[in-house]
Chains A and B, each alone.
Chain A
Amino acid sequence: EPEVTQTPSHQVTQMGQEVILRCVPISNHLYFYWYRQILGQKVEFLVSFYNNEISEKSEIFDDQFSVERPDGSNFTLKIRSTKLEDSAMYFCASSTGASYNEQFFGPGTRLTVL
């Protein structure tokens, strides 16, 4: 069964450092997403990506964040200068974009900012 994969599973970084979180969406999907979940809280939308551009983003997704699809399979989230409050689980998701908007989630990357 196809699935979304994410690497690394856990990333530890120092405050102010740049991090890149990687995702491989399901191959025939057209929409890609990043969400985050601070420990014990709900899942929050960050950004969606379609046709090689951002289609929607939340208030959380400020200038410190960027996304890229560098090739035909990977989808990345970059945080330029990490802050303590960026510590969270980051989930990548993908969907076909068909009338039912089922988004398939990856296992997540736990980001810890020290």
Chain B
Amino acid sequence: GESVGLHLPTLSVQEGDNSIINCAYSNSASDYFIWYKQESGKGPQFIIDIRSNMDKRQGQRVTVLLNKTVKHLSLQIAATQPGDSAVYFCAESRWAGTALIFGKGTTLSVSS
């Protein structure tokens, strides 16, 4: 069945380091991928997205990389800050308007 998973349940970094969070997906028909950040007691917050016709997209301090050959997605956070501490989920969908299938989440802890 469809599933999206993350390689590591937790990641601990020092403030100022670059963080890389990985995700493997299984549905080759997925067309759209998103990274969400979830802080304790809150709903998922959009970080960055990418379509399957791209392999890289950059935002402010964040970059998403998509490798369709090995069905791998990663989120890179530059100069990680304590405020980046949260659970990060990748999610996939087939096309616009369809269900997002979430992975299990990676808890990022940033120490100063």
Interface set of A (CB-CB < 8 Å, partner B):
4, 30-31, 33, 35, 41-45, 48, 50, 55-56, 58, 91, 93, 95, 97-108
Task: Identify the stretch in B64-72, B74-82, B93-101 within 8 Å (CB) of chain A at 4 or more residues.
Answer: B93-101
Knowing A42-B105, A44-B102, A101-B32 are in contact, say whether A107-B97 is a contact too (CB < 8 A).
no
Give the contacts of B90-112 with A (CB-CB under 8 A).
91, 93, 95-105
Q: Which residue of B lies closest to A56 (CB)?
A: B99
* List of A residues within 8 angstroms of B101 by Cβ: 45
Are A33 and B44 touching (Cβ within 8 A)? no
* List of B residues within 8 angstroms of A101 by Cβ: 32, 34, 49, 93, 95-98, 100
Are B104 and A42 touching (Cβ within 8 A)? yes
Q: Tell me how far the C-beta of B106 lies from the nearest C-beta in chain A, rounded to whole angstroms.
A: 11
Are B102 and A42 touching (Cβ within 8 A)? yes
* List of B residues within 8 angstroms of A97 by Cβ: 96-97
Could you give, for residues 1-38 of chain B, a 1 whenever the CB lies within 8 Å of some chain A CB and a 0 otherwise? 00000000000000000000000000000001010100
Are A99 and B96 touching (Cβ within 8 A)? yes
Q: Which residue of B lies closest to A58 (CB)?
A: B99
- Checking A48, A98, A100, A102 against B99 with a beta-carbon cut-off of 8 angstroms, the contacting residue is A48
Q: Tell me how far the C-beta of A15 lies from the nearest C-beta in chain B, rounded to whole angstroms.
A: 25
Are B89 and A98 touching (Cβ within 8 A)? no
